[in-house]
Amino acid sequence: MSANNEHNSGHGESEEIARREPDEVAAVGDPIADPGLHHNDERLTDVDPKAGRRAERQVAGMFTLASLLMVGFIVAYVAIGIHPDDPENGVDIGNVQVSNLALGLTLGLALLLVGAGAVQWARSLMTSPEVVHERHELRSDDETRQATLDDWNTGVEETGFGRRKMIRNSLLGALALLPLPAVLLLRDMGPNTGGTPAERKEHTIWAEGVRILTDVTFMPIRAADLEVGSLVNAMPATFEELPEHGPERINERAKSPVMLVRMLPDEIHVAEGRENWHVDGILAYSKICTHVGCPISLYEQTTHHMLCPCHQSTFDLADNGKVIFGPATRSLPQLPIAVDDEGYLIAQSDFTEPVGPSYWERTR
């Protein structure tokens, strides 16, 4: 394709202007006249046939190397097994990593070389000159606009949409109602039983007399098992009775977890009405952050501060779980606890307020 072709190519949209003559004088208000399009200097490959051949070899070399790398990919796929000979042994992570590296390097480099080759080809060898096209204003001319408007009006006129008010209004009414069935269909995305969403938030499976079990191992805990300064994650004994399948278990995991901490009784600043919520300095707090619900986890023994790793809300466990830093607005709910006949820690009741973040229905 020759540059010549450019000049008489096409009409209409992409009509090309001949190379602009430089302006003699600057446009009004401009200090410097437009010197006109500067055509790119010739490339070395344009003037030196040797450089051209070198570039050609480079490009072809890259494409060839890419092919070799793809063969390498196939080899890596076949040769680096990740499946264990004996399924009992399981997979060797090392093999997976090696396979990942080998497959990724060969494929990635192959792609890179195909790309680099194409770009190099375009830059150094393709002969297209710089092209200039004229732009045209995007707006249609007044005549066309008027004609379009007329056509539209004719159409509207033909329907009689403006005159036949009854048809128009009943149609608009029907269309306005159309979203209702669509929205209604989504109704069953949420449950139909079990009260309002807010009501479901008010209860956990903690209740009077429910034993407090260690998390993971689910062992009952005696007061004496806990040393001053320690922290134990715990769950209600009722958790174990929940069905293996279905959402109940995981839903309770999101509501019921508590942390048991023990401190010296005189370190605790007990709020009014909570005097008998602890057992010899053992306190139970909800593990669910009142900010947006992460499980809280970082305990600093000496200060009794509990930090949520998500956004650093900090609660003072010696002071009724009050917020002392961070974005949380509510104290951590405390679970009133006691000891049963056999000396194990139990709950006195469910939480006295909903656990987790604030929500609209939740009053003060």
Partner 1 sequence: MSTIVNGAGKVVDFVDQRITASNWLKRNIRKVFPDHWSFLLGEIALFSFILILLSGVFLTFWFKPSMAHIAYEGAYVPMRGVGMSEAYASTLELSFEVRGGLLMRQVHHWGALVFLAAMSAHMLRIFFTGAFRKPREINWLIGVTLLVLGVAAGFTGYSLPDDLLSGTGLRIIEGGMLAIPIVGTYLSSFLFGGEYPGDDIVARLYPLHILLIPGLIIALVTAHLMILWYQKHTHWGGPGKTNHNVAGAPFFPIYVAKAGGFQFIVMGVIVLLAATIQINPVWLWGPYDPSVVSAGTQPDWYVGFLDGALRVMPPWEFYIFDRPITMSVLIPAVILPGLILTPLALYPWLEQKATGDTREHHVLDRPRNVPVRTGIGVAFIVFYILLWIAGGNDFFATILEIPVNWITWSIRIGIFALPPLAFWLTKRICLGLERRDRDKVMHGRETGIVMVSPDGEFSELHAPLSQADAYQLTWHERQLPSDPGPATDANGIPNPNYRAKRVQAKLSRFYFGDVVQKPTREEVEAAHHNGHHDAVEAGHRDEITSGQQ
Contacting residues toward ligand FES, per CB under 6 A: 289, 291-294, 308, 310-311, 313, 326-328
| DSSP one-letter code for 60 | H
Q: Among partner 1, ligand FES, none, what does residue 164 contact (CB within 5–8 Å per kind)?
A: none
Phi-psi label, residue 281: left if phi above 0, alpha if psi -120 to 50, beta otherwise = left
CB of 351 to partner 1, least distance (A): 15
Structural tokens at position 45: 């490959």
CB of 238 to partner 1, least distance (A): 15
Distance CA 25, CA 34 (A): 8
CB of 101 to partner 1, least distance (A): 5
Q: State which residue, 102 or 292, has the beta carbon closest to ligand FES.
A: 292
CB of 210 to partner 1, least distance (A): 17
Interaction pattern, residues 122-161, with partner 1; x per rule: CB under 8 A: xx--x-x-xxxxxx-xx-----------------------
Interaction pattern, residues 252-291, with partner 1; x per rule: CB under 8 A: -xxx-x-----------------------------x---x
> ∠ CA(257), CA(261), CA(266), 5° rounding?
145
* Among 207, 271, 310, 339, contact with partner 1 (rule: CB under 8 A): 310
Contact between 291 and 331 under an 8 Å Cβ cutoff? The reply is no
- Of 248, 246, 257, 268, the closest CA to residue 316 belongs to 268
- Stretch of residues binding partner 1 (CB under 8 A), selected from 50-58, 87-95, 161-169, 334-342: 87-95
CB of 207 to ligand FES, least distance (A): 26
State the DSSP H helix or E strand holding residue 128, giving kind and residue range, or none if neither: none
Q: State which residue, 61 or 115, has the beta carbon closest to partner 1.
A: 115
311 binds partner 1 (CB under 8 A): yes
96 binds partner 1 (CB under 8 A): yes
Per the listing, tokens 């080998």 go with: 102
Q: State which residue, 169 or 312, has the beta carbon closest to ligand FES.
A: 312
Q: Which are the contacts of 320, defined by CB distance < 8 A and separation ≥ 6? A: 269, 270, 271, 274, 331, 334
Q: State which residue, 281 or 357, has the beta carbon closest to ligand FES.
A: 357
Distance CA 81, CA 211 (A): 50
Q: State which residue, 100 or 358, has the beta carbon closest to ligand FES.
A: 358
* 278 φ, ψ (degrees, to nearest 5): -115, 165
CB of 283 to partner 1, least distance (A): 18
Helices (H), 80-92: none
Distance CA 347, CA 253 (A): 17
CB of 291 to ligand FES, least distance (A): 3
336 binds partner 1 (CB under 8 A): no
Q: State which residue, 262 or 291, has the beta carbon closest to partner 1.
A: 291
Phi-psi label, residue 90: left if phi above 0, alpha if psi -120 to 50, beta otherwise = left
Q: How many residues does the chain have?
A: 364
CB of 130 to ligand FES, least distance (A): 56
Q: State which residue, 24 or 275, has the beta carbon closest to partner 1.
A: 24
Q: Which are the contacts of 140, defined by CB distance < 8 A and separation ≥ 6? A: 148
Q: Among partner 1, ligand FES, none, what does residue 276 contact (CB within 5–8 Å per kind)?
A: none
Q: State which residue, 207 or 294, has the beta carbon closest to ligand FES.
A: 294
Distance CA 41, CA 214 (A): 78
